[in-house]
Structure 1
């Protein structure tokens, strides 16, 4: 079937607008809109008809003047495919512009939700004339609405990095606007014990809350999440810089002064941040999948005075750790092999030592000290044959490259 034959078949029984006619030939010629393709095809078919009339739905020629034939054209009516949807595009663009005014943004993307009837009518057309070379109605709607919004707002449509999403719901005939998350990368120190890393109902405040507070106040976001490279225990300090990405949900404003945010966070003295920069979802994944070595400083209390402390160097190498009893309620009971890379110590008194331990990511340090009733082997307690418990723990270095 050649181009003209296909165009005649499309217009044979019902009126089809220029957009829906041209969209069936979207892969032909570049630099033209579907509307321009449809206008051109309609005139070409009309010339054929003026040369030699043939069966066709005459209202498809509404507005055209014939030289040879004198058809009774009548009114075109509504497009049998889109229902003249494209005549409402400016209305939807104005509605979008109005609703977007509450948001600070530079880029946007348009999406659309087709009504059941529009999907059915488009598929019915393809069943008659074939889908080859055509474009989906949704694609043209998104593109044409995007062009109008660009013109009205002066902002740029950007599918890869949109600040705002415009959703045209054609089932409900309305526009919805969503501000996409704002991501901020940084590194933090947790300077006090007794607070969790992320939101937890059992605790009044968390590292996440402290970092998010000035951003929430500035941005008017609906909520926040923190994605970090591992986590320290609630009773531990993190004195090594831990990478994180703060995610702010549906922010109205998205250009905070990061230097000002940093100073406000650090002023409280509970958490300290540095190296903050605007980020993205890709960096969230990167941060959460990091596996850096860590260095810990622990104060260990032994049941009895320690003899031959140097024997704990036997623990350097691979240790086997079953999931600790304290986290079994939320983690699978697995056996993990972890490397202990170095151990140094300083004597505080006969039964108390400060021990600095360098391990690969994911090692349970408290259990490496205590043995966790034999679930970690070897352990410092087992090697020294002296019951040991951690009195305090600090993460002093996170070895991110």
Structure 2
């Protein structure tokens, strides 16, 4: 593997490398490199590594010195899969991959090349400049192509002088020609940064003193853009509205709660009210719009959710208004604002029609008319049935 950390004019020497030139960190080793269990050089090779993984306990971390190897065999991932333990694959020069077995869900795993190349020139510089503006950046390309089949955390050293800065990881979508924000992470005191990957391709890391929230808020969604509530029944009288943040944004705002503010407002509180926590309560029949405003680092994004409030009711989903004497028929009903399993059936004229209160099976006893009634609490639906 060769990782080239080169200086480009816009970096102004702030990411590392010697002024006026390039710094080459050569981690190339023979293709036949044998991986070694870290701190136990007597144990090496994939078979020994798989055995150690099998013997490891929940919560353990197994660290592997790749020793020049780049490709991790499929059966190693199969061994890790499902286990609550982390395997760290160290490539050298401050670059490593961490994989937790519980993140491996793919049933069609394959050999994975973990190679990482820094400062590639695949992504058009004009496109990067549109996103990075005057901020420094690094391009990285992953040797594997496509989905990993699991979450993989890449740790890469970006020099101690960048400690405290934020790294925005953008994926280069070649089909659309766009850069898509994938992750935001903070450079630690040692100069290392960790970014989560599920897919291998070409990426750019853009550095900034504060997170690029204007890009992050674009990925916030709302749990629903419409909903129906009911009054007078026993269920669906309220609902919770919640913004859905990407995981990396949750992590950042958890460190500093002041960076995120969420507010809710109902356009017609007489129809439905909403609490500061996003709980909507039905009040009367009608429609209202709930406006959710999310402010992250001063950047705002609003969502509108239409709420319709109806009277609770029962709908007969299978019914008939005529039966032949001696025949049977099973009525079905569904509740709206009432629990369907609470619905029971009755008849207004047992001499003409009988019905099983739980199953809804009716039997026509004699010629005449009667009502079949589906009821849950004080909510009911009835239909007139003639027996011929």
TM-score class, shorter: under 0.3
Alignment TM-score, normalising by the size of structure 1 = 0.26
Higher RCO structure (Cα 8 Å, ≥6 apart) = 1
Q: Which protein has the bigger strand share? A: 2
Larger radius of gyration: 1
Alignment TM-score, normalising by the size of structure 2 = 0.27
